[in-house]
Homo-oligomer: A and B are copies of this chain.
Amino acid sequence: MESMVPMETLVSLCKRRGFIYQSSEIYGGLASAWDYGPMGVELKNRVQNFWWREMTQLHENIVGLDASILMHPRVWEASGHVESFTDPLVDCKKCKQRFRADQIPKQNMETHSCPECGGELTDPRQFNLMFRTHVGPVESDAFLVYLRPETAQGIYVNFKNVVQTARMRVPFGIAQVGKAFRNEITTKNFIFRTCEFEQMEMQFFIHPSEDGKWFEQWKQERFEFYEKMGIRETRMRFHQHGPDELAHYAKIAFDIEYEFPFGWRELEGIHNRTDYDLRRHMEYSKKDLTYLDDLRGGERYIPYVIETSAGLTRTVLTVLADAYDEEEVEGEKRVVMRLHPELAPVTVGVFPLVKKDGLAELAQEVARDLREDFTTFYDQGGAIGRRYRRQDEIGTPFGVTIDYQSKDDRTVTLRYRDTMEQVRVPIVELPERIRQAVREYRRVD
């Protein structure tokens, strides 16, 4: 078992190499908000595209959707979020600090005393985690709306639309990637938990009698998804929700957990939400959301839903933590991000061995051609070894070096990040060699 990267090392690399910056940093930052820099946005986009392709393009029975963040407020009454999406908070009357009641040590709760200053605590009060805003120019007479705390409801309220217009028949799924917002008092662990985050959710609509079968299938399929992205199986496990953990809508729930540097935490949840959400929306909207099943002799029913709910930003953290590696090379430490080539922010680095004698010009020509097919970074500054290391640190899987021989025979060296092996390749063959290496990629530590 390899050692885990300390969080401060990872956070520092993310800042230094342009993956993740603190939001509004020049103004002292905004608590738990983060911006994705040049490398971070490319990585995040690739994780999203990997999920999207896997869930929609490769599944003929799943289609996509993108609902708006602001929805009619009745949606959140129906979903139960207005009533139940709360944290119990207590205040210290002396030092005025606020705490989540379930995070205060038991003895302090029993003595009603502040864990910080010993002062008297208020009784717990329920605070809703939804952000509120108003549509319309004046707050007094404007329309109260919420920033959605989950993307799933956008799918449920469109269930009928999709059935009617996308020619889908149960069993089928609807997939969505998008922002969600939760006004949580405690946010920590870098991008693991943030007030503003991105979800990748899929709701799979099924006949109620088949919920066991489909739950098992999605549980396995979602676990395998992370293996496909190159995440180490040894750092993943399932955790079943006990009765006290189950959300108000769930009949059964499993988390896929990952062993982060700060411990085992939820990476994705697979939930049997039963017909709870569709039934509630029927009740609140007075619209018929039942499904007429031709394939079951015209049976009419409210479908059950198996949900797979992952965090995009959280998956980015997982991918980064899992990819981080250090090794000693020729007496020096090499930091290398062993990212799957389909996720790496830059696919190819192009380097002239030296700038002079026309090598820079030839290298720029090679980079220009590669850029049509791959995200390509051209770098002519500094010793070649340092340039390799810079690319290793951002996980660039391939390096192309143009040397004097290249001018004579139009060949270059192709360097593989993980093994540091270098092979001589004709320039014209580069795109196909790179594509092949991406297809055949297996992680080597």
- The interface of chain A, by Cβ under 8 A from chain B, is 15-18, 21, 23-31, 33-42, 44-45, 52, 56-58, 60, 63-72, 74-75, 87, 89, 98, 127, 129, 131-139, 145, 147, 154, 157-158, 160-162, 165-167, 174, 176, 179, 181, 183, 185, 195-196, 281, 284-285, 287, 289, 367, 371-372, 375-376, 378-379, 381
Given contacts A136-B183, A137-B183, A367-B60, contact A72 B28 (CB under 8 A): yes
Contact, CB under 8 Å: B134 / A70: no
Provide the residues of chain B in CB contact with A375, threshold 8 Å.
56-57
Provide the residues of chain B in CB contact with A41, threshold 8 Å.
64-66, 176
Contact, CB under 8 Å: B131 / A134: yes
Given contacts A23-B68, A135-B183, A166-B18, contact A37 B196 (CB under 8 A): no
Contact, CB under 8 Å: A161 / B60: no
Given contacts A15-B165, A66-B41, A165-B18, contact A27 B157 (CB under 8 A): yes
Given contacts A27-B157, A185-B136, contact A37 B166 (CB under 8 A): yes
Contact, CB under 8 Å: A37 / B162: yes
Tell me the complex Cα distance, A165–B64, Å. 35
Contact, CB under 8 Å: B30 / A68: yes
Contact, CB under 8 Å: A18 / B161: yes
Partner of A66, one of B44, B136, B181, B285: B44
Contact, CB under 8 Å: B138 / A127: yes
Contact, CB under 8 Å: A35 / B154: yes
Provide the residues of chain B in CB contact with A137, threshold 8 Å.
87, 89, 98, 127, 129, 183, 185
Taken together, the copies of this chain in the complex come to 2
* A-B contact list, 11 entries, CB within 8 Å: A26-B157, A27-B284, A29-B72, A33-B68, A35-B65, A35-B68, A38-B65, A45-B64, A136-B183, A136-B185, A167-B379
Q: In the assembled complex, how far is the CB of residue A146 from the closest CB belonging to chain B, in whole angstroms?
A: 9
Contact, CB under 8 Å: B134 / A66: no
Find the B residue at minimum CB distance from A42. B64
Tell me the complex Cα distance, A98–B140, Å. 14
Find the B residue at minimum CB distance from A38. B63
Find the B residue at minimum CB distance from A62. B38
Given contacts A33-B70, A72-B28, contact A21 B135 (CB under 8 A): no
Among all A-B residue pairs, the 6 with the closest Cβ atoms: A24-B72, A38-B63, A18-B165, A127-B137, A36-B66, A27-B72
Given contacts A35-B67, A135-B183, A137-B87, contact A23 B72 (CB under 8 A): yes
Contacts A38-B162, A44-B66 known; 17 new A-B pairs at CB < 8 A: A18-B162, A26-B160, A30-B71, A33-B71, A34-B68, A35-B158, A35-B161, A41-B66, A57-B371, A58-B371, A58-B372, A60-B371, A69-B179, A70-B181, A133-B147, A135-B195, A167-B379
Find the B residue at minimum CB distance from A33. B68
Partner of A165, one of B37, B74, B376: B37
Contact, CB under 8 Å: B158 / A68: no
Tell me the complex Cα distance, A372–B132, Å. 42
Provide the residues of chain B in CB contact with A281, threshold 8 Å.
26
Provide the residues of chain B in CB contact with A287, threshold 8 Å.
26
Provide the residues of chain B in CB contact with A21, threshold 8 Å.
158, 161
- Which of A69, A165, A375 has most B Cβ within 10 Å? A165
Given contacts A17-B165, A18-B165, contact A70 B196 (CB under 8 A): yes
Q: In the assembled complex, how far is the CB of residue A316 from the closest CB belonging to chain B, in whole angstroms?
A: 11
Provide the residues of chain B in CB contact with A72, threshold 8 Å.
23-24, 27-30
